[in-house]
Every structure is written in structure tokens, then in C-alpha cells.
């Protein structure tokens, strides 16, 4: 998608077995359109050769502050001035300690100290043994580096190269890529808590059969990702879908409309924005059979009767907090025809300030969509685009609306 087009990233490698992941990360950054300048400490070169990193980044790798290739012999200045960010992945415990003290006895630490603080952010992906990560010294360094302005990504949990198991693994390259992309998005929803519903629901007929719909959950998951990229705390209540959870998003899996209703009721008190993208089943079988319904050979078909499911969005929109303007509610309308008229009517029926219409059959399961935003003053079209791009535009639009309402 060229998410990092125009970005120049200095990728710093320090000593650690996670250097093998940095090779893949370098490739992924380049694939997203970034130019990548690799700088390696001496310790990093014990784990990965500069040749590999040069081939992947298509640029000469730097390792020494005494590198004579720079005409002024100041690689620490020359390389740091062009960067949109310095990303240290992997960052060892030792290197974190070094950064903390502003030490500068090798090219990478020298660059970090010499970088213009306001324009070149420092992103750190720690990688170390679990005991080293848990050590009070490392945790103290981590907290201090954050208060000095660095962004420190989480560590992964699992099997470590040393044979132990726990916290301290460097995140996988695709996870770091998602974090870097998120870092560059505008933080329009910082301080907000966004609750999103997504996907279909599944209403059981018997233990092996049920009623569901064609929603893939992709639009809702993209919205959850975009909200988190915009700086919000995000909770995603997901119906049965097989999509990966966007990084940093709290996910609650549910199956039926009633489960979804309950999960939303449990989470909504903390939310300042509620976005209902789920294609909730309107009805469920009145009586789900305890055992599988069998054919009896007579050709008789089972008779199903239905009862209506609770309307999750309407209930939230009528809550005291939503009515008082402390919770901004956004509905979706999946229609098959007459989008404008249906969306306008649905906005009023649900009692929400903003309703987003889309044509269900034209978007269910696809990676792209087109949206029609309907509010009390009119409509706005968002042309066909990837679901992630549309989600980012919608989140920016919601942020503007909340600001206009004066919602904190």
C-alpha cells in the first residue's frame, strides 16, 4: 500500500539474536515505500553481516563514527539530519542504558544524541532475555527514556533463544511495521476511548447449524486499527470472523447478538465514542434445539420461528451518557438499495448524530468500499477506496465532529 512513501528511516541494529528479524523488517519498510539507512553497532555485526543489510536496504551500511566515506567525516550528523525517525530494532538492554545516559561512544548512540529532538523521533524495539527485561534497572531506563520523549514498543512474550520463556522477545517484523505506520498517523483521537462492534453475529438453530450473514468484519477491524493509530484506546467487540486483531486493540470475541449486546454493555461505560459496524442478526430462532435436528425420512422440514434481537446501537444511543453528549455514537447501514433514503431514515430511527451508509453486497468480504456519511445537515460521499484508507478518513471526520461539539 506504500504506507511509508516519502519516509526516510534510520534503522539501527544493536547486539541481539533478534537481528535476524531486523533483516525482514528492513525489507518490509522498503516494500512500504520507505528509504532505509541501516546503522549497526559492532555487537550487531556479530549477529548479522552488513552485507545482508546492504542488499536489503540497497544502501551502504554504516557502523563506525570514523567512517572516512563521509566527506566531512561526520556520519552522525549527516545521517541523522535526513531521517523522519530513528528506529532501533533490536535495542539491547545495554543500548537502552547507554541512550539513557546520553553516552555517545559509537556511531548509533552518537547519532541518537546528535539528532534534532523535535524533528527526528526515536523509536525503540527492545529485545532481550526475560530476566534482563524484568530487571528494575531496565524498567527504570525504559520509563526514563519514555519521559525523555522516546517511543518504546512493547516486547513479545514466548520462547526465547536462550531456552527460557517470558517477556522480552522483539516484536515480529509485521508487528513492528504496523507500529511504525501507526506512529506516523495524526493523533486526532488522543485521550479518547473508542468502542467498535464488527463482523456478523451467529444465531444458533441447533448445536451444528445457525443463521449468520456475509459480513467479513474488515471494515470494523480497519476502523478499530485507524482509531488506535489516531491515539485512542480501542475495544473491539467482534462477531465470528477470522481476522487478525489490529495491534494494540483490546478484542472481545462474541458469537450471538445477545452476547454482543452484553459485551457492549460491559464496555461502554469507559467509551467516549461508539462505532457500530457489526452486521447484527435482526432475529434469532425462538428455540435453539439442544441436539442436532435430524431428518426423519418423511420429507418434513423443520419449522423455525424467530424472535427479534436487542438493538445494540439504539440502546447505547438512548443511554444517559450518549444523550448528555459524553458518548458520540456512529451507526452503519448495510443496504442493498436506496442507500440515501434508507440511511437517512435509519439515522433518525437509531437516534445517532452520524450514520454511515454502504451497499452490503458491493462490499461484504472485499478490501474496498465506498461510504455515504449522513448527519442532520446533509450528506458527504467518501469515494471507493481501501477499507483502511476510508477508516482513517472516517476517524479524522469523527474527530472533527467531536471537537465541534466540544466533547472532551
Binding residues for ligand CTP restricted to 22-81, rule: CB under 6 A: none
- Closest to ligand CTP by CB, 200 or 246: 200
Could you tell me which stretch among 110-118, 234-242, 265-273, 277-285 binds ligand CTP (CB under 6 A)? 277-285
Q: Per rule CB under 6 A, is residue 216 in the interface with ligand CTP? A: no
Interatomic CA distance for residues 64 and 107, integer angstroms: 5
Q: Per rule CB under 6 A, is residue 271 in the interface with ligand CTP? A: no
- Closest to ligand CTP by CB, 108 or 356: 356
Give the other-Cβ count within 10 Å of 327's Cβ. 21
State the burial class of residue 189 (Cβ atoms within 10 Å of its Cβ: 0-12, 13-18, 19+).
buried
Q: Minimum CB separation from ligand CTP for residue 256, in Å?
A: 11
Q: Minimum CB separation from ligand CTP for residue 173, in Å?
A: 34
- Among residues 28, 93, 171, 280, which is the contact residue for ligand CTP, using CB under 6 A? 280
Q: Per rule CB under 6 A, is residue 276 in the interface with ligand CTP? A: yes
Could you tell me which stretch among 90-98, 221-229, 279-287, 319-327 binds ligand CTP (CB under 6 A)? 279-287
The grid coordinates listed for 190 are 488522543
Collapse the DSSP code of 83 into the 3-class scheme (helix H, G, I; strand E, B; otherwise coil) and give the result: coil
CB 40 within 8 A of CB 13: yes
Binding residues for ligand CTP restricted to 223-262, rule: CB under 6 A: 257
Q: Is 112 a catalytic residue?
A: no
Q: Per rule CB under 6 A, is residue 333 in the interface with ligand CTP? A: yes
Q: What is the DSSP string of 148-160?
A: TT-EE---EEEE-
Q: Per rule CB under 6 A, is residue 357 in the interface with ligand CTP? A: no
Q: Per rule CB under 6 A, is residue 85 in the interface with ligand CTP? A: no
Q: Which residues pair with 333 in a beta bridge?
A: 357
Tell me the backbone φ, ψ of residue 74, rounded to 5 degrees.
-130, 65
- Closest to ligand CTP by CB, 54 or 262: 262
Q: Per rule CB under 6 A, is residue 339 in the interface with ligand CTP? A: no
Collapse the DSSP code of 26 into the 3-class scheme (helix H, G, I; strand E, B; otherwise coil) and give the result: helix
- Among residues 312, 339, 374, 394, which is the contact residue for ligand CTP, using CB under 6 A? 312
The distance of Cα 40 from the centroid of its chain, to the nearest Å, equals 29
Q: How many CA atoms lie within 13 A of 193 on its CB side?
A: 10
- Closest to ligand CTP by CB, 82 or 266: 266
Distances (CA, A) of 102 to 110, 183, 332: 8, 24, 51
- Closest to ligand CTP by CB, 99 or 257: 257
- Closest to ligand CTP by CB, 190 or 269: 269
Interatomic CA distance for residues 395 and 408, integer angstroms: 16
- Residue pointed to by grid coordinates 454511515: 356
Q: Per rule CB under 6 A, is residue 389 in the interface with ligand CTP? A: no
Q: Minimum CB separation from ligand CTP for residue 271, in Å?
A: 14
* Positive or negative torsion for Cα 153, 155, 156, 159: positive
Q: Per rule CB under 6 A, is residue 199 in the interface with ligand CTP? A: no
Helix H or strand E segment including 391: helix 387-405
Interatomic CA distance for residues 10 and 13, integer angstroms: 10
- Among residues 332, 387, 398, 402, which is the contact residue for ligand CTP, using CB under 6 A? 332
Q: Per rule CB under 6 A, is residue 313 in the interface with ligand CTP? A: yes
The DSSP 8-state label assigned to residue 148 in this structure reads T
CB 8 within 8 A of CB 83: yes
Q: Minimum CB separation from ligand CTP for residue 343, in Å?
A: 9
Residues serving a catalytic function are: 162
Binding site residues, ligand CTP, CB under 6 A:
197, 257, 276, 278-280, 282, 309, 311-313, 331-334, 346, 350
Amino acid at each position: 500500500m506504500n504506507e511509508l512513501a516519502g519516509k526516510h528511516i534510520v534503522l539501527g541494529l544493536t547486539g541481539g539474536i533478534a537481528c535476524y528479524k531486523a533483516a525482514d523488517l528492513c525489507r518490509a519498510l522498503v516494500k512500504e515505500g520507505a528509504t532505509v539507512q541501516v546503522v549497526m553497532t559492532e555487537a550487531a555485526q556479530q549477529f548479522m553481516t552488513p552485507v545482508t543489510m546492504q542488499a536489503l536496504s540497497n544502501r551502504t551500511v554504516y557502523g563506525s563514527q570514523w567512517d572516512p566515506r563521509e566527506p566531512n567525516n561526520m556520519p552522525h550528523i549527516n545521517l541523522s539530519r535526513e531521517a523522519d525517525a530513528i528506529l532501533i530494532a533490536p535495542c539491547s538492554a545495554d543500548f537502552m542504558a547507554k541512550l539513557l545516559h546520553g553516552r555517545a561512544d559509537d556511531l548509533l548512540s552518537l547519532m541518537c544524541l546528535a539528532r534534532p529532538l523535535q524533528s527526528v523521533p526515536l523509536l525503540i524495539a527492545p529485545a532481550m532475555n526475560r530476566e534482563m527485561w524484568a530487571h528494575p534497572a531496565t524498567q527504570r531506563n525504559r520509563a526514563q527514556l519514555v519521559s525523555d520523549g522516546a517511543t518504546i514498543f512493547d516486547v513479545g512474550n514466548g520462547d526465547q533463544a536462550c531456552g527460557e520463556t517470558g517477556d522480552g522477545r522483539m516484536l515480529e517484523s509485521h508487528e513492528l511495521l504496523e507500529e511504525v505506520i501507526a506512529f506516523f498517523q495524526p493523533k486526532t483521537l488522543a485521550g479518547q476511548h473508542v468502542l467498535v462492534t464488527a463482523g456478523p453475529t451467529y444465531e444458533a438453530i441447533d448445536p451444528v447449524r445457525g443463521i449468520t450473514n456475509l459480513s467479513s468484519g474488515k471494515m470494523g477491524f480497519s476502523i478499530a486499527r485507524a482509531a488506535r493509530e489516531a491515539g485512542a484506546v480501542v475495544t473491539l467487540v467482534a462477531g465470528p470472523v477470522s481476522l487478525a486483531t489490529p495491534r494494540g486493540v483490546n478484542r472481545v470475541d462474541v458469537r450471538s447478538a445477545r452476547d454482543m449486546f452484553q459485551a457492549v454493555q460491559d464496555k461502554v461505560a469507559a467509551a467516549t465514542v461508539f462505532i457500530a459496524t457489526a452486521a447484527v442478526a435482526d432475529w434469532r430462532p425462538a428455540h435453539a434445539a439442544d441436539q442436532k435436528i435430524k431428518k426423519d425420512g418423511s420429507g418434513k422440514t423443520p419449522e423455525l420461528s424467530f424472535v427479534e434481537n436487542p438493538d445494540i446501537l439504539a440502546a447505547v444511543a438512548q443511554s444517559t451518557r450518549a444523550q448528555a453528549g459524553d458518548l458520540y455514537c456512529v451507526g452503519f447501514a448495510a443496504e442493498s438499495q436506496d442507500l440515501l433514503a434508507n440511511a437517512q431514515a435509519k439515522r433518525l430511527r437509531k437516534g445517532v448524530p452520524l450514520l454511515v451508509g454502504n451497499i452490503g453486497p458491493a462490499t461484504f468480504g472485499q478490501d474496498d468500499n465506498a461510504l455515504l456519511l449522513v448527519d442532520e445537515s446533509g450528506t458527504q460521499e467518501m469515494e471507493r477506496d481501501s477499507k483502511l484508507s476510508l477508516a482513517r478518513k472516517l476517524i479524522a471526520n469523527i474527530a472533527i465532529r467531536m471537537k465541534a461539539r466540544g466533547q472532551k
